[in-house]
Each structure stands twice: as C-alpha cells, then as structure tokens.
Structure 1
Amino acid sequence: MLGSADVRRLVAALELRPTKTLGQNFVIDPNTVRRIVRVAEVEPSDVVVEVGPGLGSLTLALLPAAGHVVAVEVDTTLANALPSTVASYAPALSGRLDVVRADALELGELPGRAPTALVANLPYNVAVPVLLHMLETFPALDRALVMVQKEVAERLAAPPGSRVYGVPSVKAAWYATVTYAGSVSRTVFWPVPNVDSGLVLLRRRTPPKGVDRTAVFQVIEAAFAQRRKTLRAALSGWAGSAAAAEELLVASGIDPRARGEQLSVDDFARLATHFSE
C-alpha cells in the first residue's frame, strides 16, 4: 500500500505537478483503499476496471482481491509508471494487471475478459459522464463502487422527491440500483482537495423494457431543464406543445402538475413509450 511518504516520493521521482484539470488528488491512506475494496465486494472471480489509477494506491489494494485489474489512465506518465510501482510493491501480483493508456470517456473496449466490476476514484470534473459511459459500454459490469465528490455522490444516490434528485440520479437508476455507501474525508488525499468525497455503490439492474434508452434520456433532460416548471410546461418543447405534453402525461398515469424530481426512471420510461407510439 502507498502511504503519504510513498506518494510524495513517487510524485518527486516522476516530476509530477498534480493538476486539477485531471483531478489528480492521490489517496495517501491505506485504510481508505482497503475500505473501498471491501465495500465493492471484490472477489477472485472479478475482472475489475479501475479508471484513473493515478500512482496506484487503489490498484495495490485491488490486486490481492481481484482475479485481474485493468487500469485505465489518461496521463501518459502515470500510465507508464504504474507497472513499475506494482512490480516494486507487489511483485507477485504484477501478472494480474493490465494498464490501458486512454481517456475513459472514449473507451470502447478493453483487453481480455469483459470487466465485471468498476472500482475507481473518479476525477471530480468528469465523474458522472465517465460512470454512465462505463455502464453503457460494458454491460457485463455487475456492480460499481466509485469515490466522487460528496455532493455528486448524494445526487447520484438520491431517490425521487429528494431536493438533490436530478438528471444524474435518474440516468444512473436506468442502469443500476444506487446507494450512498459512506463519506470520505478530504484529509486522505494529497494534495488535499477543497471538498469531501463520498462512496456510491451501484448494482446492475434490468432497465425498463420495450423502450429506447436514448428516448428516455431525452425526456429526462427535458424535464429537468426547467426544474421550477410543472411537467406540462417543462415538456412542452419535447412533446410539441403543452397540450400534447399533458395528454402524454395523463396517458402515462402522471399528474401534469408534477415536477421532474417527483418521477422515477420507470415513470420517464412510460412517458417515452407513449411518445413513440
């Protein structure tokens, strides 16, 4: 495991200047990465994909628990250094690691067997897009445990009716059952970020059947584009008119006076289904 001194030594050796753009805040607390692996329920049968491994703090915790780890890193310096770090700290486990130098948002395939779990400390600025892209691109992902900004974690796990329920909440619910799995102090990182983090656990669910995901996501985005308006008004552009929106809402068993934050992903799926008929 990498502690504070290890992280600082590696950063100095690689002549790194951690950047906010890439969300480079490295975990320096071994107990935190052990906790992540435990909550993610990583097993020897798992092929784990880790997005943004950085210096390898979480990677070194994943390798003893997983059958294989595929680390996806956009930073060339970090991607090139990770195999050497693993060889130094866990030489017997080096064969379980593949490193892919790529932008996770552009990822289309991975080497070897399809990943069964996503476990990652996601960069704050792209956390939601990366999570949704991975869930869509790799249907064999049975579960995901991601560490993100606490505010984002709460939003992802929010139920309908919650003050922070929104587009990320509903889109994540299309793919999975989402739960908030605990808070993480900013002090476990170096450099120390300005916010605390949260853990989000997602377990793959069967999405609503008989409706296209893109169509559902379009109505979700329309409903939340004007949060303060009733669905009758907010969906008028999407449906063609306020009257058409009301007709679709009534046909779907939804009160036209309701607002987007009151609807579940299944409600949005019914709306999209009636719109396509």
Structure 2
Amino acid sequence: MFCKLMKEPSKQSGIETCHLHVRMSCKLMKEPSKQSGIETCHLHVRMFCKLMKEPSKQSGIETCLLHVRMSCKLMKEPSKQSGIETCHLHVRMSCKLMKEPSKQSGIETCHLHVRMSCKLMKEPSKQSGIETCHLHVRMSCKLMKEPSKQSGIETCHLHVRMSCKLMKEPSKQSGIETCHLHVRMFCKLMKEPSKQSGIETCHLHVRMSCKLMKEPSKQSGIETCHLHVRMFCKLIEEPSKQSRIKPRHVP
C-alpha cells in the first residue's frame, strides 16, 4: 500500500496527523520459478483512497484513484538464527494517479523501481492471537515521472526500522480476516546526490486496522482479495531537522 501524507496545521511543529481510508482490490498471479527460494509474482492493484486531515471537515479531504501494475521477485535466504527470516525483494512498478474531479489535468503517471532487502524477526508472544515482530528494511528506489526523461528522476535510499504487533480477531463471516496492526517505525530518507542536506529523519507512529476478504478464484495461481483499511498516523520530525519532509510510503 502506498499513500501520500499531506501536511496540516498543527500546534506542535513537525507533527502531521491524518486519517487514511483505503479500499483496495488486488489480483496476485504467482509464476513457477526455476531457482529454489525465488518466488515471482505479478500484482494488479486498483485502489480508491480518501485522505482526511484534521481538524478540517471538507476542505481537508482529498480523493484519488490509483491504478498500479507491479511485478516483484522475492528471494528468501537461509538464516542461522531461529525466528529470523531474511529476504530480498526486487520490485518494478508503474502507477497512474488520477485526482478528482479533474479529468486529464489531475493525472500523474510515474514509474517506480525499487530494490529492497529486509530481515524479519518474530518474537514469542504470551497472548494468544497476538504476533509480534521486528522488521529491518533497507530500500533504494528510483522514481521517474513522465514525460520528462532526466529531470523527472528522483533517487533515494530509505532505511527503515519497524516493530509491529498484529492482533487477529475471530470473524463470523467466512473468508473474512480481521486484524489490528500497531506499528512503530523509524525511518531515514537520503536523497541523491546531496550528502548531508538530503537526509531526512522522521519518526512515524501508525495505528491501523484492516479487514481482508479473499475471493475464490477460477484460475489456478491467481488470488483475488479486497482490503479495507483504516489507519491513523502521526509523523514527528527530529528536532535537528528544520525542513519539513514528505514521506513517500507507509509500510
């Protein structure tokens, strides 16, 4: 899931608060792989999102339609430590964002190339239904906006440390899985080619509840699902940084 975090007037400098409501349907098609430990898939996503800023009611609502086509390759590595799973993810994604109510002028097309390596460490939990994990991510991405060739290319490196707690709830409806996800994330974004001035550091506190409904599929290897997400997040800049930052992704 990708979202754009808009700024709002806040009493505390460097804090951005927003509510994000997302409805997303996706189709995942897995491909057979010749290499062991490598999983290749193509993901077609159609997402409708509404972003409501606080404390305004109507003026702070931004509605957009996001069409995404993404192919990714996941390579898992053997791990010596129990409970630790290491993987490398190579992603190629093209997306088209159409803002309402404009028809043509509100369309922004971009291509995003992502290389990401992550390490997941699961912790034993005393409470039933609660899964706690720590995720360490290193990601480099290149964003190319159309129609410009060179001037529209933005390259950045993102270092993320995230701890999350997932609590699954029993569901009455078959095929529906409800969960609450509590996330604390620290991230550092470094833009090229500057060395020091292009470093943005932030702390992101996220509380998200999501409902996943899987649909039966007629085609083998294709999984279709609908994801309903409610998310509250607060972004806090570090005191040492004076410029406001614009995060690209919310994992």
Normalised to the residue count of structure 1, the TM-score between the two structures is: 0.26
Q: Which has the higher contact order (CA 8 A, sep 6+)?
A: 2
Q: Which structure has the larger Rg over C-alpha atoms?
A: 1
| Structure with the higher helix share, 1 or 2 | 1
| Structure with the higher strand share, 1 or 2 | 2
Normalised to the residue count of structure 2, the TM-score between the two structures is: 0.27
